[in-house]
Protein backbone atom coordinates (compact mmCIF):
# COMPACT_ATOMS: atom_id res chain seq x y z
CA UNK A 1 0.00 0.00 0.00
CA UNK A 2 1.12 3.55 -0.74
CA UNK A 3 0.48 6.89 0.91
CA UNK A 4 -1.73 8.82 -1.52
CA UNK A 5 -0.06 12.14 -0.71
CA UNK A 6 3.62 11.23 -0.65
CA UNK A 7 3.53 8.22 -2.97
CA UNK A 8 5.67 6.23 -0.55
CA UNK A 9 4.97 2.67 0.56
CA UNK A 10 3.10 2.74 3.85
CA UNK A 11 2.43 -0.95 4.45
CA UNK A 12 2.72 -4.40 2.92
CA UNK A 13 0.22 -7.25 3.13
CA UNK A 14 1.78 -10.67 2.60
CA UNK A 15 0.00 -13.80 1.50
CA UNK A 16 -0.05 -16.82 3.84
CA UNK A 17 3.18 -18.81 3.60
CA UNK A 18 1.47 -21.85 2.06
CA UNK A 19 0.29 -19.89 -1.01
CA UNK A 20 2.74 -19.50 -3.89
CA UNK A 21 0.73 -17.60 -6.53
CA UNK A 22 0.78 -13.78 -6.32
CA UNK A 23 -2.17 -11.60 -5.40
CA UNK A 24 -4.76 -11.08 -8.17
CA UNK A 25 -8.34 -9.80 -8.53
CA UNK A 26 -7.90 -7.28 -5.71
CA UNK A 27 -11.08 -5.71 -4.28
CA UNK A 28 -11.57 -3.36 -1.31
CA UNK A 29 -14.62 -3.01 0.94
CA UNK A 30 -14.31 -0.98 4.13
CA UNK A 31 -11.38 -2.38 6.10
CA UNK A 32 -11.34 -5.58 4.05
CA UNK A 33 -8.93 -6.39 1.22
CA UNK A 34 -10.11 -9.33 -0.85
CA UNK A 35 -8.14 -11.07 -3.56
CA UNK A 36 -7.17 -14.37 -5.09
CA UNK A 37 -4.02 -16.47 -5.05
CA UNK A 38 -4.31 -19.33 -7.49
CA UNK A 39 -7.38 -21.36 -6.49
CA UNK A 40 -7.81 -19.51 -3.19
CA UNK A 41 -9.85 -16.50 -2.13
CA UNK A 42 -8.21 -14.48 0.67
CA UNK A 43 -9.59 -11.76 2.89
CA UNK A 44 -7.24 -9.54 4.92
CA UNK A 45 -7.66 -6.51 7.15
CA UNK A 46 -6.18 -3.74 5.00
CA UNK A 47 -5.26 -1.66 8.06
CA UNK A 48 -3.37 -4.33 9.99
CA UNK A 49 -2.50 -6.78 7.19
CA UNK A 50 -3.88 -9.68 9.22
CA UNK A 51 -5.45 -12.44 7.11
CA UNK A 52 -9.05 -12.90 8.23
CA UNK A 53 -9.78 -16.06 6.25
CA UNK A 54 -8.92 -17.99 3.10
CA UNK A 55 -11.12 -20.30 1.08
CA UNK A 56 -9.95 -22.97 -1.37
CA UNK A 57 -11.92 -23.14 -4.61
CA UNK A 58 -12.14 -25.80 -7.33
CA UNK A 59 -10.51 -23.67 -10.06
CA UNK A 60 -7.69 -21.16 -10.30
CA UNK A 61 -9.49 -19.00 -12.87
CA UNK A 62 -11.77 -16.82 -10.74
CA UNK A 63 -13.90 -13.70 -11.07
CA UNK A 64 -14.57 -11.68 -7.90
CA UNK A 65 -16.89 -8.88 -6.82
CA UNK A 66 -17.69 -7.42 -3.40
CA UNK A 67 -20.78 -5.76 -1.95
CA UNK A 68 -23.33 -5.72 0.87
CA UNK A 69 -21.09 -7.69 3.23
CA UNK A 70 -20.42 -10.48 0.76
CA UNK A 71 -17.73 -11.66 -1.64
CA UNK A 72 -19.14 -13.04 -4.89
CA UNK A 73 -16.95 -15.57 -6.66
CA UNK A 74 -17.26 -17.38 -9.98
CA UNK A 75 -15.14 -20.40 -10.82
CA UNK A 76 -14.68 -19.67 -14.52
CA UNK A 77 -15.23 -22.23 -17.25
CA UNK A 78 -12.73 -23.25 -19.92
CA UNK A 79 -14.40 -22.83 -23.36
CA UNK A 80 -11.61 -24.90 -24.97
CA UNK A 81 -13.00 -27.94 -23.16
CA UNK A 82 -16.50 -27.34 -24.42
CA UNK A 83 -17.73 -26.10 -21.05
CA UNK A 84 -20.85 -23.95 -20.80
CA UNK A 85 -20.92 -20.96 -18.44
CA UNK A 86 -24.55 -21.57 -17.47
CA UNK A 87 -23.95 -25.22 -16.64
CA UNK A 88 -20.31 -25.72 -15.66
CA UNK A 89 -18.18 -24.01 -13.04
CA UNK A 90 -19.81 -22.46 -9.98
CA UNK A 91 -21.07 -19.14 -8.68
CA UNK A 92 -21.24 -18.58 -4.92
CA UNK A 93 -21.36 -15.92 -2.21
CA UNK A 94 -19.16 -15.72 0.90
CA UNK A 95 -19.84 -13.79 4.08
CA UNK A 96 -17.05 -11.21 4.12
CA UNK A 97 -16.73 -11.19 7.92
CA UNK A 98 -16.56 -14.95 8.51
CA UNK A 99 -15.54 -16.57 5.22
CA UNK A 100 -18.61 -18.83 5.37
CA UNK A 101 -20.42 -19.74 2.16
CA UNK A 102 -23.87 -18.10 1.96
CA UNK A 103 -25.22 -19.64 -1.25
CA UNK A 104 -24.02 -21.54 -4.33
CA UNK A 105 -25.32 -22.32 -7.79
CA UNK A 106 -24.04 -23.69 -11.11
CA UNK A 107 -22.51 -21.36 -13.69
CA UNK A 108 -18.98 -20.09 -14.18
CA UNK A 109 -19.29 -16.76 -15.98
CA UNK A 110 -17.54 -13.49 -15.21
CA UNK A 111 -19.54 -11.32 -12.81
CA UNK A 112 -20.10 -7.81 -11.49
CA UNK A 113 -22.10 -6.46 -8.57
CA UNK A 114 -24.81 -3.77 -8.71
CA UNK A 115 -25.04 -2.00 -5.32
CA UNK A 116 -28.12 -0.01 -6.38
CA UNK A 117 -30.16 -3.21 -6.86
CA UNK A 118 -28.14 -5.75 -4.82
CA UNK A 119 -27.66 -7.87 -7.93
CA UNK A 120 -24.94 -10.16 -9.19
CA UNK A 121 -24.64 -9.47 -12.93
CA UNK A 122 -23.30 -12.00 -15.45
CA UNK A 123 -23.48 -11.93 -19.28
CA UNK A 124 -26.37 -14.40 -19.29
CA UNK A 125 -28.35 -13.71 -16.09
CA UNK A 126 -28.87 -11.52 -13.02
CA UNK A 127 -29.05 -13.04 -9.52
CA UNK A 128 -30.38 -11.72 -6.21
CA UNK A 129 -27.22 -11.13 -4.20
CA UNK A 130 -28.80 -12.10 -0.87
CA UNK A 131 -29.88 -15.61 -1.90
CA UNK A 132 -28.63 -16.35 -5.43
CA UNK A 133 -32.03 -16.61 -7.08
CA UNK A 134 -32.21 -15.61 -10.78
CA UNK A 135 -34.11 -12.49 -11.80
CA UNK A 136 -36.82 -13.07 -14.41
CA UNK A 137 -36.54 -10.97 -17.58
CA UNK A 138 -39.48 -9.89 -19.69
CA UNK A 139 -40.31 -11.45 -23.06
CA UNK A 140 -38.92 -8.45 -24.92
CA UNK A 141 -36.19 -9.31 -27.42
CA UNK A 142 -32.77 -9.14 -25.75
CA UNK A 143 -29.28 -9.84 -27.05
CA UNK A 144 -28.13 -13.40 -26.45
CA UNK A 145 -25.48 -12.04 -24.11
CA UNK A 146 -25.49 -8.78 -22.14
CA UNK A 147 -21.76 -8.28 -22.47
CA UNK A 148 -19.02 -5.83 -23.33
CA UNK A 149 -16.61 -6.87 -26.08
CA UNK A 150 -13.36 -5.39 -27.30
CA UNK A 151 -9.63 -5.69 -27.80
CA UNK A 152 -7.90 -7.13 -24.74
CA UNK A 153 -11.12 -8.64 -23.34
CA UNK A 154 -12.03 -12.35 -23.43
CA UNK A 155 -13.53 -13.44 -26.74
CA UNK A 156 -16.79 -14.21 -24.94
CA UNK A 157 -16.80 -10.67 -23.51
CA UNK A 158 -17.24 -9.43 -19.95
CA UNK A 159 -20.47 -8.54 -18.16
CA UNK A 160 -21.83 -5.14 -19.12
CA UNK A 161 -20.70 -2.15 -17.08
CA UNK A 162 -22.93 -1.31 -14.12
CA UNK A 163 -23.70 2.44 -14.13
CA UNK A 164 -26.19 3.21 -11.36
CA UNK A 165 -29.57 1.97 -12.58
CA UNK A 166 -28.17 1.12 -16.01
CA UNK A 167 -26.22 -1.70 -17.61
CA UNK A 168 -23.97 -0.75 -20.54
CA UNK A 169 -23.11 -3.30 -23.23
CA UNK A 170 -21.54 -3.22 -26.69
CA UNK A 171 -18.05 -2.69 -28.10
CA UNK A 172 -15.43 0.08 -28.17
CA UNK A 173 -17.46 2.20 -30.60
CA UNK A 174 -21.07 1.28 -29.95
CA UNK A 175 -23.30 1.27 -26.91
CA UNK A 176 -26.50 -0.40 -25.77
CA UNK A 177 -28.10 0.83 -22.53
CA UNK A 178 -30.34 -1.45 -20.45
CA UNK A 179 -32.43 -0.82 -17.36
CA UNK A 180 -31.58 -2.64 -14.13
CA UNK A 181 -32.94 -5.02 -12.97
CA UNK A 182 -35.34 -5.65 -15.90
CA UNK A 183 -32.61 -5.67 -18.62
CA UNK A 184 -35.05 -3.83 -20.92
CA UNK A 185 -33.33 -1.58 -23.49
CA UNK A 186 -33.32 2.20 -22.94
CA UNK A 187 -33.52 4.18 -26.17
CA UNK A 188 -31.73 3.31 -29.38
CA UNK A 189 -28.15 2.00 -29.66
CA UNK A 190 -25.35 4.54 -30.10
CA UNK A 191 -22.42 4.39 -32.51
CA UNK A 192 -19.58 6.87 -33.05
CA UNK A 193 -16.38 7.35 -35.06
CA UNK A 194 -13.71 6.22 -32.62
CA UNK A 195 -10.55 6.09 -34.80
CA UNK A 196 -8.16 4.40 -32.41
CA UNK A 197 -8.11 1.52 -29.99
CA UNK A 198 -9.20 2.96 -26.63
CA UNK A 199 -11.51 0.72 -24.61
CA UNK A 200 -14.47 1.99 -22.61
CA UNK A 201 -14.63 3.05 -18.96
CA UNK A 202 -17.89 3.78 -17.14
CA UNK A 203 -19.15 5.66 -14.11
CA UNK A 204 -22.70 6.37 -12.93
CA UNK A 205 -23.14 9.31 -15.32
CA UNK A 206 -20.33 9.11 -17.89
CA UNK A 207 -18.80 6.69 -20.36
CA UNK A 208 -15.26 7.59 -21.44
CA UNK A 209 -13.98 6.67 -24.87
CA UNK A 210 -12.14 7.96 -27.95
CA UNK A 211 -13.96 10.11 -30.52
CA UNK A 212 -12.26 10.75 -33.88
CA UNK A 213 -8.90 10.04 -32.28
CA UNK A 214 -9.40 12.32 -29.26
CA UNK A 215 -10.22 11.69 -25.61
CA UNK A 216 -13.97 12.01 -25.06
CA UNK A 217 -16.83 11.27 -22.76
CA UNK A 218 -20.49 10.41 -23.32
CA UNK A 219 -23.13 11.82 -20.97
CA UNK A 220 -25.34 8.81 -20.26
CA UNK A 221 -28.44 10.99 -19.71
CA UNK A 222 -28.21 13.26 -22.77
CA UNK A 223 -26.06 10.86 -24.84
CA UNK A 224 -24.02 13.87 -25.93
CA UNK A 225 -20.40 13.17 -26.90
CA UNK A 226 -17.85 15.74 -25.69
CA UNK A 227 -14.34 15.41 -27.21
CA UNK A 228 -11.21 16.92 -25.66
CA UNK A 229 -9.39 17.93 -28.81
CA UNK A 230 -5.69 17.11 -28.91
CA UNK A 231 -5.62 14.98 -25.76
CA UNK A 232 -4.37 11.45 -26.29
CA UNK A 233 -6.41 8.61 -24.78
CA UNK A 234 -4.80 5.32 -23.83
CA UNK A 235 -4.75 2.29 -26.11
CA UNK A 236 -6.53 -1.05 -25.75
CA UNK A 237 -7.92 -1.70 -22.29
CA UNK A 238 -5.57 0.98 -20.84
CA UNK A 239 -8.20 3.71 -20.90
CA UNK A 240 -6.68 6.66 -19.00
CA UNK A 241 -9.97 8.60 -18.73
CA UNK A 242 -10.97 8.08 -15.09
CA UNK A 243 -14.31 9.48 -13.84
CA UNK A 244 -14.61 9.21 -10.05
CA UNK A 245 -16.06 11.30 -7.20
CA UNK A 246 -17.14 14.11 -9.52
CA UNK A 247 -13.75 14.51 -11.22
CA UNK A 248 -12.66 13.27 -14.65
CA UNK A 249 -8.90 12.68 -14.46
CA UNK A 250 -6.88 12.30 -17.67
CA UNK A 251 -3.19 11.62 -16.91
CA UNK A 252 -0.73 12.28 -19.74
CA UNK A 253 0.07 9.24 -21.90
CA UNK A 254 2.03 10.91 -24.72
CA UNK A 255 5.46 9.53 -23.73
CA UNK A 256 6.96 7.82 -26.76
CA UNK A 257 4.05 8.93 -28.96
CA UNK A 258 4.93 10.73 -32.23
CA UNK A 259 1.34 11.75 -33.01
CA UNK A 260 0.21 15.37 -32.76
CA UNK A 261 -1.22 15.29 -29.22
CA UNK A 262 -0.74 17.83 -26.43
CA UNK A 263 1.61 16.47 -23.71
CA UNK A 264 -0.72 17.44 -20.87
CA UNK A 265 -2.60 15.96 -17.95
CA UNK A 266 -6.12 17.29 -17.40
CA UNK A 267 -8.73 17.15 -14.63
CA UNK A 268 -12.34 18.18 -15.30
CA UNK A 269 -15.12 18.96 -12.83
CA UNK A 270 -18.81 19.80 -13.42
CA UNK A 271 -19.44 23.43 -14.37
CA UNK A 272 -21.55 23.83 -11.22
CA UNK A 273 -18.42 23.23 -9.11
CA UNK A 274 -16.47 26.12 -10.68
CA UNK A 275 -16.55 29.48 -8.90
CA UNK A 276 -15.21 32.64 -10.45
CA UNK A 277 -13.53 35.47 -8.54
CA UNK A 278 -16.14 37.58 -6.78
CA UNK A 279 -18.84 34.90 -6.69
Give pLDDT tens digits for 208-217.
999 999 999 9
Residue 259 within any structural domain of the chain: yes
- 48 lies in some domain: yes
Backbone angles phi, psi at 79, to 5 degrees: -60, -25
Mark whether 2 and 104 lie in a shared domain.
Answer: yes
Q: Which residues, 6+ apart, have CB-to-CB distance to 229 below 8 Å?
A: 214
Contact indicator for 107, 122 with CB cutoff of 8 Å: yes
Picking from 75, 67, 65, 85, the residue whose alpha carbon sits closest to that of residue 145 is 85
The domain boundary residue, chosen from 113, 136, 159? 136
120 and 12 together in one domain: yes
111 shares its domain with 219: no
Same domain, 3 and 111: yes
Q: Report the pLDDT value the prediction gives residue 171, as an integer from 0 to 100.
A: 93
Structural domain contains residue 204: yes
Identify the H or E element spanning 55: strand 51-56
Mark whether 207 and 125 lie in a shared domain: no
Are 1 and 131 in the same domain? yes
Shared domain check, 198 and 129: no
Are residue 3 and residue 130 in the same domain, yes or no? yes
Give the pTM: 0.90
Question: Is 172 inside any structural domain?
Answer: no
- Shared-domain flag, residues 3 and 112: yes
pLDDT of residue 257: 76
Q: How many domains does the chain divide into?
A: 2
Q: Can you name the residues that pair with 179 across neighbouring β-strands?
A: 166
Last residue within a domain, chosen from 136, 152, 167: 136
What are 185-238's pLDDT values in tens digits? 999 999 999 888 888 999 999 999 999 999 999 999 999 999 999 888 888 778
| Domain end position, chosen among 136, 151, 181 | 136
Both 44 and 111 in one domain: the answer is yes
Residues 131 and 204 reside in one and the same domain: no
Residues of the chain with pLDDT under 70: 139-141, 278-279
Q: Is residue 175 part of a domain?
A: no
Residue 221 in domain:
yes
Q: Is residue 160 part of a domain?
A: no
Q: How far apart are CA 161 and CA 157, in angstroms?
A: 11
Query: Which CATH number belongs to the domain containing residue 56 in this structure?
Result: 2.130.10.10
- Residue 35 and residue 123 share a domain: yes
The residue range of the domain holding 105 is: 1-136
Residue 260 lies in a domain: yes
- Residue 139's pLDDT is 67
Q: Cβ of 113: how many Cβ atoms within 10 Å?
A: 21
Amino acid sequence: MFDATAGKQSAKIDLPDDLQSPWSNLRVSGDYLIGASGANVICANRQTGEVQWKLATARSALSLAVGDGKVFCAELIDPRRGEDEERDGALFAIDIATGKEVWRRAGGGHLRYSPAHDLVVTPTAFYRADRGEPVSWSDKVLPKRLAMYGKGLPQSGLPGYVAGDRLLTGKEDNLFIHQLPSAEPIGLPMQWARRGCTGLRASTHLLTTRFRGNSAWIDLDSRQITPLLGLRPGCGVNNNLYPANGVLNIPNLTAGCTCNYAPASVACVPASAVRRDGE
